[in-house]
Structure formats: C-alpha cells, structure tokens
Structure 1
Amino acid sequence: MDREKVNEPELSLSMERVIQAELLLLLKQKPSHGYELIQRLNDSEFKSAEVDAATVYRNLRRMDKEGLINSQWEVGETGPGRRLYKLTSQGEESLIVWTKYIVRQKTKLENFLETYQQFNNSHPGQ
C-alpha cells in the first residue's frame, strides 16, 4: 500500500461538538461578544479547524438555552447593539466535564501511539 495515498482519518469528535468546549474555555477567560469569540477561536492554538461564524452563533444560542452561558445586549454609543456572552456556573461544570473527557482521549491516543511505536520498533518493515 502506498503510504502517500492513505488519507488521514477524520476525528470522531466533530467541529460542532468540540467548539462547545473551546467556547466555554474562552468565556471562562473573559466574557466576550460573538465576533470577538470568532476571532479568538481563529487565533487560538487549540482550534479544531477554521471557524464558521454560523456554527459559533448556533452553538452560542444552544448553550444559552441550556444555561451554560448567558447573554445580554450591550448598546454602545456608536454602532449596533451586541450580545455579551458570559459563562455560568453550569457552564463551568460543563467545562470541567469536557476537560476530563479530553484528558481521557489524550491518554487513549498516547497509549495508541506508544503501542504502535513499540510494535513498529520490534517489527520493522511490517
């Protein structure tokens, strides 16, 4: 089999799901407006992929309905009003759950890589 032609497998966690954890983390760092969250996601070192604004706003609405975050309209002296999103205590609990899940996934991936490397080293060329 030609290794160059093998496609990388898709990760089991979709961008739609992982973005929730990413948004919770960013909102734990500081309350933000939607546009600012999009910019911070794109600048982050943990982003899953290029962020789609519609996906971010859809997740923010869902998270607001679920009580993970709350939002309020801020009206500035210039420009249109913007929603300011803040993490709730329920959102902090959800972030802890996400963090534990990610740690478990990281451990599984490290175990996989270690097993692969041990096999590969003891069976070169297979």
Structure 2
Amino acid sequence: MPPSLIKLFVAASSVITGTVTTTTTTAVNDNVRRFDAVVTAPMIDAGAGTTTIPDTSFRDDSGTTLAAGALPVPPAGGYYNLYANGVLQEGGLSTLSATNLVIATAALLPGTPVIVEVHDYTGTTSASASTPNLTVTTTVNT
C-alpha cells in the first residue's frame, strides 16, 4: 500500500468575556440670532413676483442696523426661520444671502414686519472614549 498524507485535525474555541465602557459627551451649541425689518414699497417687485429686503434694512436684537454684507447665512447643518407679520413661512419661500433676503411673493404689503431667525450649530462638539476590559480564552483540542 502506498504511503498517504496524514492530516492533523485541530478544533479551537474561544470565549470572550468582559465589558467595554463608552462615555460620550455632547455639547449642543445653538447660536440663535434674530433680525427684523419692515417691508417698504420699493422692496416689492410685482413684475418678478418677489420681495427683496436688503441686508442694511435689518436690525439685530440690540436694534443695531446691519452693515452691508453682514446678514448671516446659516452654515451646513444650520437653518433659518422666516416670519412675515408674525407668521412662520414655509422653508422654500425664501432665499437668504449675506446681502439680502428674497421672498418669492409680491403679496406682502408695505409696513409688513419680517423677522429672520438664524440657527448656527457650528460650535456643537461631541467626544467619545471607550475603555475595553476584555479577556479572550482559547482552547485548542487536538
């Protein structure tokens, strides 16, 4: 009889025990700023069907008129709310830039108060730390 290869058979099993402790700390920083303006007749463009309020028509919470180009635009993850005559408007109705607020309607009347509320979350932080305390026991059966 010719020689044949003898193969070793080994079975191994492992047991993992212990814990992993994870601590997460999150600090949500909602930097909210509000700006108000009053619609005037020259802001309303009936032909285009829009109302455009320039940045320098807005005042901040302290009553200070904004400088040119100072209307804040929310960064990624932020958002703004638009209130016309105290009523929250739909999100797709307006476009906010550093120089103006364009509202997609000419139906506003002169004297209508407009408030823009900008929410900025760029100061939000989150950190996690994990401490593993694991033991692995392996048994090899031959």
TM-score bracket, shorter-length normalisation:
under 0.3
| TM-score between the two structures when normalised by the length of structure 2 | 0.23
Higher Rg:
2
More strand as a share of residues: 2
| TM-score between the two structures when normalised by the length of structure 1 | 0.25
More helix as a share of residues: 1
